[in-house]
Amino acid sequence: MNACPVCSSKLNNNIKKIKYPSIGGHGSNSLNFREIVFCNRCKTGIAFPCISDDVIKDYYEKGKYWKQINIGKVSKNAIVPYALARARWVNIESLLSQFKNCKNIAILDIGAGYGFIGMFANESKKIDIKRYTCIEPDLQMWQCINSYWQSRHNGNKMEIKKTLCEVSGKYDVVVLSHVLEHLNDPLSMLQSALSFMKSGSILLLEVPNQDYLFKDYTLPHILFYNQNSLQCLIDKTKLLETVSISGYGKNMTISPLNRNISIRQRAVGKVLGVLHGIFPRKLLAILYSEYFGINRKNSNGTWIRALCRKK
């Protein structure tokens, strides 16, 4: 790689490098990343050595990611993804109410995971969802998404695709949550997403905030953003207006995700784990939101979230 995939600046031999965090996770460093190199201009971190798009595609389509996080165990409750999705949906819903007629809303969720965004949209009392399209290459996750929609007898509003190539039409909302850090060419993905948006459509972007600073294990992240570099990427499209962009979550130095988590934080986490299966999911989501600071704006938080509109 000769240029930064975010700002296109040339990468020279004098760039900063650190060891790629890949210890203490759910398996070995199967993508063989050794270092993170940093763009001198926008400070984006880039995993090295580079891997091809075919290797990335194979990694997700063959279930290597969800297998590592033990989907059979996590899918039973999935409280943290649920709480995170709820926070994102609150932001989206607020913006929809402000800018758009909230009837017959179509949502495109790229990298949908459990499909919780669609679930919250479907249960919203403020909007009327017409269509929810998931892009999710992992077939194991299809079962999680289908189980919700089919149990409510409105599966006709939901469709699951493996790639964007299978999608057609225009959408009022596009979600790219924790996707851009997994790509060699994030600008291409943003441009593809824009092709499915009408003027005034809403785009939610979320990425980890420089998680190499506080995690021992960041696989399979390829790019490591800061708030300025994510804004730089948004600006390069020339078709997006940023409504808001901010860090979220507890300060990375004291976050439960920190490699040096305190004894107190660790104890609280174990108590929350014991409560799984005892407390209802909505109550657990509130507790976990407080534990991770999910709804808390913080420039040094663990995530970066941007809300944009297509010009």
Predicted pLDDT of residue 76: 53
Lowest mean pLDDT: which of 14-18, 107-111, 225-229?
A: 14-18
Element containing residue 145 per DSSP (H, E): helix 139-151
Predicted pLDDT of residue 246: 97
Residue 9: exposure state from Cβ atoms within 10 A (0-12, 13-18, ≥19): middle
Q: How confident is the model at residue 28 (pLDDT cuts 50, 70, 90)?
A: low
Q: How far apart are CA 169 and CA 107, in angstroms?
A: 11
Q: How confident is the model at residue 12 (pLDDT cuts 50, 70, 90)?
A: confident
Lowest mean pLDDT: which of 2-16, 106-120, 198-212, 228-242?
A: 2-16
Residues whose CB is less than 8 angstroms from the CB of residue 306 and which lie 6 or more positions away in sequence, other chains included:
204, 205, 206, 230, 231, 234, 242, 244, 245
Regarding predicted confidence, which is higher, 31 or 298? 298
Q: Spell out the long-range contacts of 94-97 with Cβ–Cβ below 8 A and sequence spacing 24 or more.
A: 95/202, 95/243, 95/307, 95/309, 96/126, 96/127, 96/172, 96/173, 96/202, 97/126, 97/127
Predicted pLDDT of residue 126: 93
Give me the amino acid identity at 139: L
Q: Report the length, in residues, of the chain.
A: 311
Predicted pLDDT of residue 63: 67
Q: How confident is the model at residue 133 (pLDDT cuts 50, 70, 90)?
A: very high
Q: What is the mean pLDDT of residues 226-231?
A: 98
Summary mean pLDDT of the chain: 90
Element containing residue 98 per DSSP (H, E): helix 79-99
Predicted pLDDT of residue 238: 95
Regarding predicted confidence, which is higher, 121 or 15? 121
Q: How confident is the model at residue 96 (pLDDT cuts 50, 70, 90)?
A: very high
pLDDT digits (tens, 9 = 90+) for 246-281: 999 999 999 999 999 999 999 999 999 899 878 988
Which of left, alpha, beta for 204 (phi over 0: left; psi -120 to 50: alpha)? beta
Lowest mean pLDDT: which of 36-40, 87-91, 114-118, 154-158?
A: 154-158
The terminus-to-terminus CA distance of the chain in angstroms comes to 32
pLDDT digits (tens, 9 = 90+) for 47-93: 999 999 999 888 877 766 665 555 444 445 689 999 999 999 999 99
User: What backbone torsions phi and psi does residue 39 show, to the nearest 5 degrees?
Assistant: -70, 130
Residues of the chain with pLDDT > 90, as a percent, come to: 74
Q: How confident is the model at residue 163 (pLDDT cuts 50, 70, 90)?
A: very high
User: What residue spans define the domains of the chain?
Assistant: 17-76+104-242+304-310
Radius of gyration, alpha carbons of the chain: 19
Which tokens go with 43? 């400070």
Q: How confident is the model at residue 100 (pLDDT cuts 50, 70, 90)?
A: confident
Predicted pLDDT of residue 156: 84
Predicted pLDDT of residue 75: 47
Q: How far apart are CA 8 and CA 235, in angstroms?
A: 13
Q: What is the mean pLDDT of residues 188-207?
A: 97
CATH of 17-76+104-242+304-310, one of 3.40.50.150, 1.25.50.10, 3.40.190.80, 3.40.640.10: 3.40.50.150
